[in-house]
Chains A and B, each alone.
Chain A
Amino acid sequence: MSKFLSSLQEKALLGDGALGTMLTQAGLPPGESPELWMLAHPEKLKIIHQAYLKAGAQVIQTNTFGANRLKLQEYQASSQVQAINLTAARLVREVVGRKAFISGIVGPTGHFPAPLGEYTWGQLVEVFREQMEALQKGGADFIFLETFSDLGEVRAALYAAKNFTTLPVACSLTFTQGRTLTGTSPETAAVVLEAMGADLIGANCSTGPQELLPIIEAYSKATNLPLLVEPNAGMPELIDGKTVYRETPAMMASFIEDFLQLGVKFMGACCGSTPEHILAMKEKLNSLPTAKPKNACTKKSFPTRLASRTKVITMGTNELPRLIGERINPTARKSIAQAFRENKWDLILQEAFEQIEKGADLLDLNVGLPGSNEGDLLPEGIRQLQMALDIPLVLDCTDPIALEKGLQEYQGKALINSVNGEEKSLTTILPLAKKYGAAVLGLTLDEKGIPAKAADRFKIAEKIVKRGLEIGLVKEDILMDCLVLTAATDSTLCLETIKTIYLVKKHLGVSCILGLSNVSHGLPQRSWLNNAFLALALGAGLDAAIANPHDSRISETLAAGALLSGRDPGARNYLQVAGKTPPASTKSTDHTNPLSTLHTYILQGQKEPIISLLEELLTTTDTDPLTIIKQGVIPPLEKIGDLFAAGEIFLPQLLLTSEAAKIAFSYLQKQLPAATFANKGTIVLGTVKGDIHDIGKNIVKALLENHGYKIIDLGKNVPTSSFIQTAKKEKAQIIGLSALMTTTMVEMEKVIQEVKKEKLTVKVLVGGAVVTADYARQIGADGYGKDAGETIKVVEKLLASD
């Protein structure tokens, strides 16, 4: 182990503070590259390093934050990468000798890996490699990746550090509101970076210590790695025209204890900080009793964890069993094959979304298509899917070359599907998992095929686990598929699979996954077999099934199986899944008052059961339509209006409710003589000339219609003359005008002028985001509606005053 890492294990180390502030004070002109300036003023840098060392820093950083080829390009200096990094590291060494460690600083390139940016993953790796090799040559004790805002980019940097230097690597991301710029949480970062081999992880920049506490806490719950933190110095004050950080050193120091408690082993300071901050932190550190490192006794254990760029999914004996969507697979589905062939990624995405909506926790991605190159399709598929999806991918591929390309692109922690007991597979696939921080799924087969007996399958599983551990994978990252063959050929074999699962879980303790659908191949009613077999497998300890999420029984079996196998304490998941199905309509028939069932349907906006309930009311209870309207439809409509006015429910629910009421109303109306309901009033509605926003207007329209008004909708961008002509032709009582912006709101006045000029009796009602009651009065409108709810009342008033 490197000296730096072993020191960390003994006690927390103190880093230094910002270079930016110090460089400006030392005379760095605005707009100039700090790295190039260093080459011309090495002595100034040495003074800064010296100041931090004197303040008590035990780790001093190189001035190389922007010293990569892409950043230096902005100053036409990309040829100087070597020189700058070598010089920077040597300058620090000249100052600190052996008194402090040197952190070789590597910052982001300003470009995210494709498809977000224009550089490929491989190109970025080369950029980082160039800088890191020079830093190592210059004498850096470890590589410090800092202020990264994209998991994909930091992963490329980490890969370069691990593969092209022999130094330990610290990874630090920057977070705002709990996630990185591209959406990664500390937990996800921890899972992915730890699997990739980071030695130290944490956060810096963006915020002060107070805001970084919850970030570090989230890290600490998700990893056993030592943590690092470098907060910003906080808000300076302006005193006599100078920016002064008066209170912030003490404030910064006051957080040290909290950070140490969370497992922070390396602490420095970022933007705005000075040697004063470091001094205050040093004093605080020295004043603390030297507590024993808690690490040894508090090692946390974790289940199997897989991750997308943004989300972690757990798997294991104490976790809920997971559903892996199987449908992106061209072998089984022609439409998918076609989509792959024609590069129709939107179809593939659609397929992915549908599976997620049906409850998939992970997605299997299989691009194996005769005549196509997996080595191109797999990375492309990953690029397309990982940006849009939240959930982790299972890379269903056994070609090591294609897999490697795919794993480079994948920014989370993937599951490789699969390795098997064959020597060729073990030696090519397992190292990929280690190198790219993935988990791997083993199949219990080898050169001789799939053994019939559980004991023999177990032996293969044992071998795969052993070999995985040997190359440095942890047990949680090795999973096993005990393989099922179709019951159509030999149904006696199915139970061998179940027995193998049991043995593997019991003796090897690794997570088990099953490609479920095989069991029913070639048989009718596949869902029956799939679900029965899933239930059996869950009983033996299965942790996840690769299956079809569109078979709704699968989620049901998973939820029920989870409860029955003791994985769902308090039945919380079961109740949630069970509650998702719409409430049984038993209430309607045996309820003493069917009208109140109608109330419930309307209030909840349940459209589907309304008609059958009304039929029932009309035929079996012989209630007359008018009574149903008066006692069954109007009261909930009024109630929901009141609830809305009181802020108890929101506009969308109001709309859903009134749509349901409208269905009931139209159905009942047909049962009555045509003249029973007079038209409550005719309203011409539109968005004024020049305005193309109609969501507000359409909401108003929907509510008015549901309240029985006749609406003539002229759409958007409507010229004044259309409003006038239509109002005349339709003998409308009201013209309703909508506008979203001040530039179009002025068109309302023109309509009103025209109404006056033509001496029409029609009233003009206005509304929209920028319209106010004052403005409405000012332009001579007859009414103003703040929102859709209020509009109903205003219209009633306007018509009543007629």
Chain B
Amino acid sequence: MNFFKVPLTLTFQEVLPFLKMNKEPSPQEKKLIEHYLMEIKQKAQPIGVWKTFPVKYWSPEKISLEGSPLLLEGKNTAQHFQTCEQITLLATTLGAEIDCLLAHLSPRNPAHALIADGVASTAIESFTEQLDCYLSTQIRRKGYFPTARFSPGYGDWALNWQKEFLISLDSKKIGIATTPYFLLQPCKSVTAALGWSNIPLERSYTAPSSTKKPAKKPCCSAHTCHYCQLASSCPDRFKY
């Protein structure tokens, strides 16, 4: 088990796509974004945990891991990790205080709540990306090729696996739990898997910011989904 703690680095510009703002926001919106950027950076307790498991067996329908009750189940899912010898599981959260902030704003001030929620979502997404980058560099140094990260609830990997996922990581230690309906708590939390492929993969190099384009198969490629222009219309969005 390894813990990951780094400060949030997200910027104003990164928040805009999450708020579905594809051009300049109004001055009032700008002020609110700046305000909640600061407040969330102040209140968040971002922390991540990760652990690497060797692949026990692979079939076109599922993958099981050495020392974990989790299955990476589903055709798309198994295919995504087809060439991997090991899988790193990770979980990240902004902590409970952000839920409190959002719960306070939500019924009182919808415009503020919407912006604060978007900033918080961007924050956890960007924090997860930081952890992903960190792990990918290590995977590359060891001579493997990292896959894009992939999560339960995406593609055909059912949300029902959240429980086993969290058990594998002992994520109680960083305060993440799941409800009977498999929702993570705190809300701003993410679980994801990163594969160690032994052959080169197109996605294994970090796309430079200026040339970031949607991946070819958008909605199954986990983290690119939120930014993908097709995200709202993609049929894969609902496959589970």
Question: What is the interface of chain A, defined by CB distance below 8 A to chain B?
Answer: 20-21, 24, 30, 112, 115-117, 147, 149-150, 174, 176-179, 181-183, 205-208, 210-211, 232, 234-238, 241, 243, 271-272, 309-310, 349-350, 353, 356-357, 387-388, 604-605, 647, 649-653, 655-656, 659, 690-695, 698-699, 701-702, 713, 740-744, 770, 772, 775, 786
Contact = CB atoms under 8 A, between A and B. Distances in A.
- 4 pairs of A and B residues whose beta carbons are closest in the complex: A183-B9, A690-B181, A702-B110, A655-B111
A356 B206 CA distance: 34
Nearest to A66: B141
Interface in B156-209: 159-160, 179-183, 185, 187, 199-200, 202, 204-206, 208-209
Given A181-B6, A650-B20, A653-B25, 8 more contacts: A149-B137, A178-B209, A183-B7, A205-B141, A207-B206, A356-B38, A656-B29, A743-B160
Given A182-B6, A206-B206, A692-B179, A650 B111 contact: no
A741 B5 contact: no
B110 A699 contact: yes
A353 B202 contact: no
B180 A690 contact: yes
A339 to B, nearest CB: 15
Interface stretch (B57-65, B71-79, B112-120): B112-120
A389 to B, nearest CB: 9
B69 interface: no
Contact of B143 (A20, A116, A692): A20
B141 A271 contact: yes
13 contacts: A177-B206, A181-B134, A211-B206, A236-B200, A241-B199, A388-B7, A388-B41, A649-B26, A652-B28, A652-B29, A652-B32, A692-B185, A699-B114
Contact of B208 (A177, A205, A310, A350): A177
Interface in B106-152: 106-107, 110-111, 113-115, 117, 130, 133-134, 137, 140-143
Contacts of B213: none
Contacts of B206: 176-177, 206-207, 211
Given A181-B130, A655-B110, A24 B143 contact: yes
Contact of A743 (B117, B133, B181): B181
A558 B196 CA distance: 55
A122 B205 CA distance: 35
B114 A238 contact: no
Nearest to B144: A30
Nearest to B132: A176
A271 B146 CA distance: 13
Given A650-B19, A656-B28, A770 B237 contact: yes
Contact of A149 (B38, B134, B232): B134
Contact of A349 (B28, B42, B110, B130): B42
A213 B204 CA distance: 20
A744 B181 contact: yes
Contact of A741 (B35, B110, B114, B153): B153
A701 B204 CA distance: 43
Contacts of A20: 141-143
Contacts of A388: 7, 41-42
B29 to A, nearest CB: 5
Given A690-B179, A744-B181, A695 B113 contact: yes
A204 to B, nearest CB: 11
Nearest to B83: A238
A117 B206 CA distance: 25
A580 B35 CA distance: 15
B20 A741 contact: no
Interface of B: 5-9, 19-22, 25-26, 28-29, 32, 35, 38-39, 41-42, 102, 106-107, 110-111, 113-115, 117, 130, 133-134, 137, 140-143, 153, 159-160, 179-183, 185, 187, 199-200, 202, 204-206, 208-209, 232, 237-238, 240
B159 A237 contact: no
Given A181-B134, A698-B113, A653 B26 contact: yes
Contacts of B102: 695
A223 B215 CA distance: 37
Contacts of B232: 786
B225 to A, nearest CB: 12
B181 A271 contact: no
A147 B143 CA distance: 16
A743 B38 contact: no
A32 to B, nearest CB: 10
A713 B208 CA distance: 45
A182 B159 contact: no
Nearest to A174: B137
Contact of B29 (A211, A237, A650): A650
A238 B143 CA distance: 14
B194 to A, nearest CB: 15
Nearest to B121: A695
Contacts of A691: 181, 183
B187 to A, nearest CB: 7
A238 B200 CA distance: 7
A120 to B, nearest CB: 15
Counting chain B CB atoms within 10 Å of each CB, which of A651, A699, A772 scores highest? A651
Nearest to A28: B143
A251 to B, nearest CB: 13
B183 A741 contact: yes
Contacts of A702: 110-111
A740 B185 CA distance: 14
B106 A695 contact: yes
A387 B7 contact: yes
A653 B29 contact: yes
Given A179-B9, A237-B200, A206 B137 contact: yes
Contacts of B240: 742
A763 B87 CA distance: 48
Contacts of A699: 110, 113-114
Contacts of B9: 179, 182-183, 310
Counting chain B CB atoms within 10 Å of each CB, which of A150, A388, A604, A659 scores highest? A388
Contacts of B115: 652
Given A20-B143, A650-B29, A693 B187 contact: yes
A604 B187 contact: no
Contacts of A243: 199-200
A772 B236 CA distance: 12
B137 A205 contact: yes
Contacts of A232: 140, 205
Nearest to B34: A357
A409 B96 CA distance: 28
B102 to A, nearest CB: 7
B208 to A, nearest CB: 4
